[in-house]
Amino acid sequence: MVEMKDVLRSQKKKEILLIGFDGLDGLDEVGKRLAAAFEGKKQEPRHTFITLDLMWRTLTPRRQELLQVMSGRKPMSIRGLSKLIGRDVKATHGDIQVLLAAGLLEKIGDKVVFPYDGFHVDYELKAVA
């Protein structure tokens, strides 16, 4: 049986989370986006890290795989997710805890969800003076 929320989800615009690195220089940009949001302007979903090192320590290849597998899916148990990707439950649990602490996943009861249809990692490196 198809539930109405599943039909609505399939009809809504696909939301892609932009993940990036802003550093301290990005605080001005964050302020501009915040002001625009308070003015009622729709903001694209984004998640930024303060350092590039922190971003890559959080987004290991295995954790990116988890986010990719969870994209566009309903909340899942860690055991079910482990089975789906063919990984050890304990290792998957550890990665899920890191992604939850980073704010990339949401916990709903005893399940976790990545509430986006995908993600895009983007960052810019500039010359150091």
* pLDDT recorded at residue 5: 53
Is there a domain that residue 105 lies in? yes
Is there a domain that residue 129 lies in? no
pLDDT one-digit tens code per residue, 50-70: 889 999 999 999 999 999 999
Q: In the chain, which residues have pLDDT < 70? A: 1-13, 23-27, 129
**What is the spatial distance between Cα 128 and Cα 52, in angstroms, rounded to a whole number?**
14
CATH number at residue 106: 1.10.10.10
Is there a domain that residue 75 lies in? yes
Across 87-102, b (16+ Cβ under 10 Å) vs e yields beeeebeebbebbeeb
What is the span of the domain harbouring residue 61?
4-122
Query: Whole-prediction pTM value?
Result: 0.79
* pLDDT recorded at residue 10: 47
* pLDDT recorded at residue 23: 66
Number of domains making up the chain: 1
Is there a domain that residue 102 lies in? yes
The beta strand positions in 63-117, using DSSP E, are 106-108, 111-113
